Amino acid sequence: MFLFSKKPSVQVLARHATRRPWFSGEHLFFRVKDGTGALRMERTRDPGCPDVMLDTYLTLTLKGQPLAFLQTSGCPTCQSLLAAGHGLPEDAPELRQAADAIAAPFHGLEEALERLTPVTGLLHTGYYVLSLVDCWPADGNGRFFWDVPNDYTDSPATAQIYDPETYSCLPVFPRFLHPSQSTDKYDPDRVEQYRKAIREGKPLPPALCYSAFEYLSILLDGHHRACACALEGVPLPCLVLSPARFTGRDDHWQIVWPDEERSTVPGISIPLEQMYCCFPGTASAPPPKPGRLFTRRWEPEYQQAVARFPNTAEAGALALYGRETLTPEGIYALEDPQGTLVPPLLLSFFCRQPGADPKKLAFSFAGTDTPPLLREAAFRVLAGIKGDPEIEDLFVDYLVDHDDKRDPLRLIADRYWDRKDGL
């Protein structure tokens, strides 16, 4: 009697495009049948943990090797703890095959999905989304993506941003990156080659990622391209694999696309058990031990380059901004419908961009007719510009006219002369 193993197959079920100015992208909803499950998210529980909100761990594994660990908070708006995995396994030629296949130009996302067959065959049988989007080579918390701690550390990119003014969460886009490769693999010559290609206007082959935790994707291939993009101040084109998300119940369900839009796919009924993207690991296990992947001391230019990219809160604000360029008029236009959280975030991001005039921009929001939180953000920007006579006059006048020592603007003005690095 002969035994034949079934070959994994992929079926495209729906397409979607995101047209937001700061978050354009293309997406395919597809089904994997007879997948091996070698690339999967596993859930374990630590029975010895005294806090039931922190006793659960998620681990992205490839052929049994952990690529990243997450100690979950149990709350979608609370940060979880992120730790380094143990690196990409040596016996994963499928990644190299897929990376080589998508290095050549492809026509449409369907062709890209077909070329990714070596990797999609590693997924478990179920439903997924492939996205072609731009990602930032940063961790969402002001760090260069490869310059992160090994041990369990609070990660803002693992939590949704709650806006108490509108009683809602800002949009979640998985476009920050977490490395899966050791810093020992870093090759500055390869980075320089990619930097040269960017300067010459040549398109970079897309990196390959797995969307894992809210705003965060695990980078499977493309670490050196991400380095080059960081130094050149541009986003990294990425093909991102995500477990499909659904809303609804029984036969009345919708797919939730990565841009949070929802749509129904007619004629498809999905079993409830196939709507979950985590698989059980060991029923009860001690906390997974982080790897020691990240040991390199990065040059200051890498650390400084990240200032050009948004943090997670600013990314959520940018998703709501409907204009191609950031302007004071555009920021003011968001004031009423988006509450008080979004405009200050946009101002902070805008003032850090190359070519921006942070002093001029901040002064345009420093007047008494500006909403309080936006005015406070403007004061903080000005407080970081030391030795400027106009700013000094503004702060002196404010201190003279306002006696309340609890006034947040007075506190900013009062501390302007305390130290060189701002607030």
Q: Name the more confident of 312 and 339.
A: 312
228: pLDDT strictly greater than 80: yes
Q: Is residue 312 part of a domain?
A: no
- As a whole number, mean pLDDT of residues 330-357 equals 80
Residue pair 50/28 in contact (Cβ under 8 Å)? The answer is: no
Of 303, 329, 347, which residue sits at a domain end?
A: 303
Does residue 235 sit in the same domain as residue 273? yes
Tell whether 175 and 245 lie within a shared domain. Answer: yes
pLDDT score at 2: 43
Mean pLDDT of 184-209: 96
Name the band, by pLDDT with cuts 50, 70 and 90, for residue 282: low
Contact 166, 340 (CB under 8 A): no
* Domain co-membership, 148 together with 48: yes
- β-bridge mates for residue 65, sequence order: 62
Structural domain contains residue 379:
yes
**Does position 193 have pLDDT exceeding 70, yes or no?**
yes
Supply the pLDDT for residue 1.
39
Same domain? For 108 and 191 the reply is yes
Is residue 111 domain-shared with residue 246, that is, in the same domain?
yes
In a domain, 264, yes or no: yes
Residue 5 is predicted with a pLDDT of 56
Percent of the chain topping pLDDT 70: 92
- Average pLDDT value for residue range 62-79: 89
Domain closes at, from 242, 275, 303: 303
User: What tokens were used for 283?
Assistant: 């029923």
Quote the tokens at residue 123: 């997924």
Q: How high does pLDDT run on average in the chain?
A: 88
pLDDT digit string, tens, across residues 98-108: 999 999 999 99
Is the same domain home to 294 and 326? no
Same domain? 167 vs 227 = yes
Cβ atoms of 178 and 184 within 8 Å: the answer is: no
Whether residue 315 is contained in a domain is answered as no
Query: For residue 25, what are the domain limits?
Result: 9-303
**What's the mean pLDDT in 322-332?**
83
- pLDDT (average), residues 195-223: 94
Region of poorest pLDDT, from 295-299, 337-341, 385-389: 337-341
pLDDT of the residue at 422: 44
Is residue 33 assigned to a domain? yes
Task: Mark whether 328 and 256 lie in a shared domain.
Answer: no
* pTM metric for this prediction: 0.90
Same domain for 77 and 43, yes or no, is: yes
In a domain, 183, yes or no: yes
pLDDT exceeds cutoff 80 at 335: no
45 or 272, higher pLDDT: 45
Domain count, the chain: 2
Asked whether residue 253 falls in the same domain as residue 356, the answer is no
Q: What is the pLDDT of residue 420?
A: 52
- Per-residue confidence (pLDDT) for residue 423, from 0 to 100: 44
Mean pLDDT on 287-293: 92
Q: Are residues 388 and 283 in the same domain?
A: no
pLDDT-based confidence at 245, cuts 50/70/90?
Answer: confident
1 in any annotated domain: no
Residues 146-187: tens digit of each pLDDT:
999 999 999 999 988 887 777 778 887 889 999 999 999 999
Asked if pLDDT for residue 54 goes beyond 60, the answer is yes
Of 303, 334, 367, the residue that ends a domain is 303
Grade residue 336 by pLDDT with cuts at 50, 70 and 90.
low
Residue 308 lies in a domain: no
- Is residue 363 located within the same domain as residue 231? no
pLDDT at 166: 74
Which pLDDT does position 419 carry in this prediction?
61
Mean pLDDT of 278-288: 65
